[in-house]
Amino acid sequence: MKEDDKPKMKEDDKQKGGTQPKKDAKKLSESDVVGKQNGDGKRKTCTKQKKQESKEKSSVHKQQTVLSFASQTSSTSVKKTNKTIPKSDVGKETGLPEENKTYIREQRLYKLLTSRRCAVYAVFLQNCVQMFDKFNTMLQAEEPLIHKLQRILLSLYKEILQRLVKPGCIAKEENILWVDYKNKDEQFQNESLVVGYEVKPFLEKLKQIGKDEFYEHVREYYVTALDYMKQKLPLSDVTLKHAEVADIEKRSDQSFDSVVYFADKFEHFLRKEGTTTAEMMNNLQTEFNFYQSDKLSEVDLSLPITQCWCAIGQIKNELGGLKFKVLSELMKSILCIPHSNAGCERVFSLVRKNHTDFRGSMKTSTLESILVNKMSMSSKGKLCYQQQFTEEFIQKAKGATYVSLTK
């Protein structure tokens, strides 16, 4: 019979009455199940063999489809990256394993990281990180910055604001914290936004849709940074504002109200024996007035702020008394306020280095003396093991050791 006649016969059978009776179907199934006899006389069924063959065929078919899909995706990704890399060498070129789903996912990641769009965002963030890195470096300084902290914070805030908002909108406000930076009418146009000069060569390679999306993300980035600074940083803190009174370079612009503010905070200045509160405040005001009008020629203002105030406290008046005795003590107390947690972390680090497991029985007073000595030496730019002791000091130390051992 010809092959062309088979479909026609099947259609004729369907029209006449469909398939064969059930009995014939049962007979056929039974005859299919029974296999040929072997030489030993045993019978084998073909159903298990057929099932195994069908499973093997299906597994092979799945592997072929997965491999064909992986090869298609790898070839398309190579074409889109404009690289003439053979399909067999893609895994070798990128160092990726040639496995099915993992291979495809890593190819997508490689494509994303090597795209022009990713390069634009990476260069922009690199430009912004330099701005924040400079600010973080200032906060980690050992020298006290409490008298400059508010100006530093406002300077960073203004720098970010100037990248987003037009200069005229900033200048018309008395306080930069009042600028409405979320208003797009006061923001720069896309081409005028400050994104960094090194970003522009990468930005020119993008299409117009990509450029518009990038500029929109830049606006969101600056707005988010300004919102975070207003919520988390003490930009308008009263204590930081009054702490500027300790800045020697700005002494002529300060008010005695700031001195009164900290005199109320540090009550021990007003409780000295033999004087009343009114007398102490009068002495403070007199010393502050002299401090504002004095040229302070005896002081080297290039030294750290703490050493400058120590030198100011040693200046004498015409009668031989200390000219700024109370005022210098108050200013040094202001400078003890930490401007960040970097100083506390340094102290904890020193404690761990000195109070080790081998010194577990060290007393707190001994640890305190060691830390004070080391920090005093480091503030003078010297190392603790370079300290030189007099013969008298060594004899006293030996005597104290002998007394403690003979108890």
Indicate whether 218 and 294 sit together in one domain. no
Helix (H) or strand (E) holding 60: helix 47-80
Answer yes or no: is 306 within a domain. yes
Answer yes or no: is 54 within a domain. no
371-380 burial, b if ≥16 CB within 10 A, otherwise e?
beebbeeeee
Last residue of a domain, which of 187, 207, 236? 236
Comparing 202 with 103, which gets the higher pLDDT?
Answer: 202
Question: For residue 368, what are the domain limits?
Answer: 357-394
Last residue of a domain, which of 236, 257, 282? 236
Residue 9 reports pLDDT greater than 50 = no
Indicate whether 257 and 297 sit together in one domain. yes
Kindly state the tokens that stand for 291: 């401090």
Band of pLDDT at residue 401, cut at 50, 70 and 90: confident
Cα distances (Å, whole numbers) of residue 161 to 138, 174, 179, 227, 300: 20, 15, 9, 11, 37
Comparing 308 with 105, which gets the higher pLDDT?
Answer: 308
DSSP-derived secondary structure for 81-116:
TT----GGGHHHHHT----HHHHHHHHHHHHHHTSH
Band of pLDDT at residue 344, cut at 50, 70 and 90: confident
**Alpha helices, DSSP H, located in 140-267:** 149-164, 167-171, 200-203, 208-232, 238-243, 256-265
Decide: 215 and 190 in contact? Cβ < 8 Å: yes
Considering only 74-88, 272-286, 336-350, which range has the smallest mean pLDDT? 74-88
pTM of the model: 0.66
Q: Which residues pair with 316 in a beta bridge?
A: 322
- In tens, the pLDDT along 225-276 reads 999 999 999 999 999 999 999 999 999 999 999 999 999 888 777 676 567 8
Q: Please state, rounded to an integer, the average pLDDT across all residues of the chain.
A: 79
DSSP 189: P
Q: Tell me, what's the pLDDT at 66? A: 43
Q: What is the largest CA-CA distance in the chain?
A: 137
Kindly state the tokens that stand for 350: 């020193």
Comparing 199 with 79, which gets the higher pLDDT?
Answer: 199
- In tens, the pLDDT along 97-140 reads 555 667 788 888 888 888 999 999 999 999 999 999 999 998 88
DSSP 248: G
Residue 330 reports pLDDT greater than 80 = yes
**Mean of the pLDDT values across residues 196-202?**
91
DSSP-derived secondary structure for 263-302:
HHHSGGGG--TT--HHHHHHHHHHHHHHHHH---TTS-TT
Q: Tell me, what's the pLDDT at 25? A: 41
Answer yes or no: is 316 within a domain. yes
Indicate whether 225 and 305 sit together in one domain. no
Indicate whether 213 and 264 sit together in one domain. no
Q: Which residues pair with 187 in a beta bridge?
A: 165
Band of pLDDT at residue 388, cut at 50, 70 and 90: confident
Our CA dihedral for 132, 134, 135, 136, rounded to 10 degrees, sits at 90
Kindly state the tokens that stand for 265: 């905070």
CB atoms within 10 A of CB 150: 21
Kindly state the tokens that stand for 329: 């003590």
Answer yes or no: is 313 within a domain. yes
Residue 156 reports pLDDT greater than 90 = yes
Indicate whether 289 and 184 sit together in one domain. no
Kindly state the tokens that stand for 189: 């146009």
Last residue of a domain, which of 236, 268, 289? 236
Kindly state the tokens that stand for 175: 């306080």
Residue 39 reports pLDDT greater than 80 = no
Nearby residues of 110 by Cβ (< 8 Å), 6 or more positions away: 77, 94, 96
Answer yes or no: is 173 within a domain. yes
Report the alpha-carbon distance of residue 82 to residue 92 in Å, rounded. 17
Residue 34 reports pLDDT greater than 60 = no
Answer yes or no: is 42 within a domain. no
Residue 91 reports pLDDT greater than 70 = no
Answer yes or no: is 315 within a domain. yes
Q: Tell me, what's the pLDDT at 165? A: 95
83-119 burial, b if ≥16 CB within 10 A, otherwise e?
eebeeeebbeebebeeeeeebbebbeebeeeeeeeeb
Kindly state the tokens that stand for 16: 């006449």
**Alpha helices, DSSP H, located in 246-390:** 256-265, 277-293, 305-313, 325-335, 342-354, 364-379
Answer yes or no: is 327 within a domain. yes
